[in-house]
Amino acid sequence: MTTDVLQPVTTQPAEETSSDEKAERPRWRPTRGHLIAAAALIGLAALPIPFGDFGFFVGQYALIYAIIGLSVVVVTGYAGLISLMPYSFAGIGAIIVGVALGSWGWPFWLALPLGAVATVPISILVGISSVRLKGLYLAIATLTFSNALGETFFKWDAATGGAAGWVVERPIVGPIDFSSDISFYVLCLVAVGLLVWMVEGLRTSRTGRAMLAVKDNELEAQALGINVYRTKLVAFVLSGLIAGFGGGLLALLLITVTPSAFQSPLAEATSILLVTLVAIGGMDRAIGPLFGAVALVIQQQVFQGAEFFFAFVGIYAAVVLIVFMMFRPGGIVQAGKRLVEVTKARPALGLAIWAFVLITNVGGAWLFLALS
Amino acid sequence: MSLLRTRDISIHFGGIAALDEVDLSIEAGEIVGILGPNGAGKSTLFNVISGFLKPAHGRILYMEEEITHLLPYERVGIGLGRTFQHVRLFRNLTVYENLLAAQHRHLSSGSFAAMLRLPGWRRDEDQAHARVEQILDVVNLRPWRDARPGELSYGTTRFLELAAVLSIKPKVLLLDEPASGIQQKEVEALGPLLKQIRDETGVAILLIEHDMGLLLKTSERIYALDFGKIIAEGTPDEVTANDQVLESYLGRTRRKSTATA
């Protein structure tokens, strides 16, 4: 490359062009990403139907895990901060929604945002105290925070309702009664769709790019004028808000919210499972957790009856995580993209892989039906 | 009034003075070179000016205002840009995304605006993408638009880095060995290019360079640095004629060659 072409880099201020650009910008048209997202949503809406009420119940779990998983996408997938406490943030949301609905008698549309916002002080605390930590050390610090929350907030009877917890009622909005699993499933689906859209939007923004930049190279990020400290804090806060909202939905799903699920070691175990499912699904795209959650929750349900359930899920999660980290760091999202490429280049091989994936999944679903 | 000035900058690493009472200044639109052997403290000086290192003593003045306490990103915010001796860039982002990330300073919309696709976000994105498209053409990086820095030649990554740092529209640009690792042909074009950038933008350039030809041809004024001290200052001719400079630069190699002989 010759250098003399570099010259006017500097001179052209884009202010003048932006107004022209705006006029030229084509009208909104669905991209392939939009179509895939729409297809995924429709597919997800239909997925539990063959399995009846039980399918919808399991589906709600998967969707709520996907929402909490989205919090991992923001903080770990985008900003590169390994946080092993998403389930603790969800717990804060769940407990606060529990107390707001079950004790104070708030309407749900006020309680859910409160559950999300209640995470902010903790997010900021975690953010400030761990902003200089990275990788393994940050992971350990967040585990410690998770443990500390389990010993303090989640053992505070006045807030958590003690061992009995809080009993909440699902709302009735106009003609829709969310106490039915189908309508609540659809509510969760709408929430997931909205949040995936929001988190994907974050990716293509000043803040989202700053997060990706900070993950990639903190020094270079600073050299380009990015406030690394603030970017990390924003990542923690946004992540906490999403997890807290997911926790609120979890409270509505469970109806009885007890704090024991958010104490050691269940909270840490579930958090790690959540991070794992996001890693399996794909960390750097908002749609990733959805794939991961569906895959993981189906696996959980398939092996639910088995005695070795807990051991299995742990081992399974670890093995799958390692395999994915080694061969497909982008998770299912990346693997799917790659598979499309392979199919284009070598149709026979590609179709064989598609067939294999389909057969194993249909087989899994059959096993799921046979066992349940 | 100088645009940027350091006063009595000192910094020590384990008892060794990396910088010792360094005073230098640069005027708007000036190209100033920094000459010195390896370990003279040149990169340390850049790290202090750009805020990556805190000096033990001394002050940094920018447009007569003290900026010693400002963080690196805040210094970028007031118009101090820098490149690194080893090209950094964002290795996992494409050329396009690298340039997009460099637009950060010119954008203002927040994360909620983006999540809800508010008009402020739309305006920011339009502006950022339009600028990057323009820069891609100007720096002729369009063929590598979707490549990652690792797939480019080292010389090309240097130009990408230069394009990225110029995207922040700095008033002072600190270039740390921009010619290192690039082909001789590109080195020769770099001098006129830097002057052209200066002429068209009025940016002041502080240049560290090991390629003596480039440094002497491009700089209007030179500071010679050795053992963290400024030992000479003046035009390229004055500095290269200075005894102390000859001693530190050429004398050392002479001594070395006699020692090995």
One domain for residues B71 and B119: no
Q: Shortest CA distance to A279 belongs to which of A326, A325, A219?
A: A325
Q: Which CATH architecture is the domain A32-371 placed in?
A: Orthogonal Bundle (1.10)
CB contact under 8 A, A14 and B131: yes
What is the CA A247 to chain-centroid distance, rounded? Answer: 12
Same domain, B181 and B162: no
**Domain identity same for B159 and B101:** yes
- Are residues A72 and A86 in contact, defined by beta-carbon separation less than 8 angstroms? yes
* Residue B184 maps to a domain: yes
Q: Is residue B233 one of the residues assigned to a domain?
A: yes
- For residue B69, the enclosing domain spans 1-79+170-261
In a shared domain, residues B122 and B132: yes
Per-residue pLDDT, averaged over B10-20, amounts to: 89
CA distance B4 to B223: 14
Q: Which residues of B touch A224 (CB under 8 A)?
A: 76, 101-102, 104-105, 164-165, 168
H/E element, B8: strand B4-13
pLDDT band at A18 (very low <50, low <70, confident <90, very high): very low
Domain count, chain B: 2
Identify the CA nearest to A196 among candidates A93, A70, A280, A47. Answer: A70
Find the range with the poorest average confidence among A317-321, B25-29, B152-156, B202-206: A317-321
Angstrom distance (rounded) from CA A72 to CA A85: 9
Q: Do A226 and B190 touch (CB under 8 A)?
A: no
Strand partners, A103: none
Q: Is residue B258 part of a domain?
A: yes
Question: A4, B192: Cβ pair inside 8 Å?
Answer: yes
A208: closest CA among B163, B104, B169? B104
Give the separation between CA A254 and CA A248, rounded to whole angstroms.
10
Same-domain status, B154 and B225: no
8-state DSSP, B249: I
Tell me the CATH number at B14. 3.40.50.300
Task: Pull the structure tokens for residue B139.
Answer: 């720096």
d(CA A95, CA A165): 8
What is each CA distance from A329 to A334, B78, B178, in whole angstroms? 8, 38, 34
Residue B84 lies in a domain: no
What would the pLDDT profile of A197-220 be if each residue is shown by its tens digit? 999 999 999 999 999 999 999 999
Q: Which residue has the tokens 């270079």?
A: A220
pTM (predicted TM-score): 0.86
Condensed to tens digits (0 to 9), the pLDDT of residues A110-132 reads 999 999 999 999 999 999 987 88
Scanning B36-95 for CB atoms below 8 A from A yields 50, 52, 71-73, 76-77, 81-84, 88-93
Chain B residues 191-210 with CB within 8 Å of chain A: 192-193, 196-197, 200-201, 203
How sure is the predictor about A17, in pLDDT bands with cuts at 50, 70 and 90? very low
Mutate to test the interface with A, among B73, B154, B159, B172 (most CBs of A within 10 A): B73
All residues of chain A having their beta carbon less than 8 Å from the beta carbon of residue B73 are: 221-222, 225-228
Please check whether residue B208 lies inside any domain of the structure: yes
If asked whether residues B115 and B132 sit together in one domain, one would say yes
- Same-domain status, B61 and B6: yes
How far apart CA A41 and CA A125 sit, in angstroms, is: 36
B96: left (phi over 0), alpha (psi -120 to 50) or beta: alpha
Q: Are residues B194 and B246 in the same domain?
A: yes
In a domain, B19, yes or no: yes
B10 lies in the same domain as B62: yes
In 3D space, the residue among A370, A371, A368 whose CA is nearest the CA of residue A47 turns out to be A368
Of B168, B195, B223, the one marking the end of a domain is: B168
Q: Which residue of B has its CA nearest to A216?
A: B90
Average pLDDT over residues B208-233: 92
Closest among A239, A237, A253, A234 to A97, alpha carbons compared: A253
A230 vs A23, which has greater pLDDT?
A230
Check: CB of residue B27 under 8 Å from CB of residue B198. Answer: no
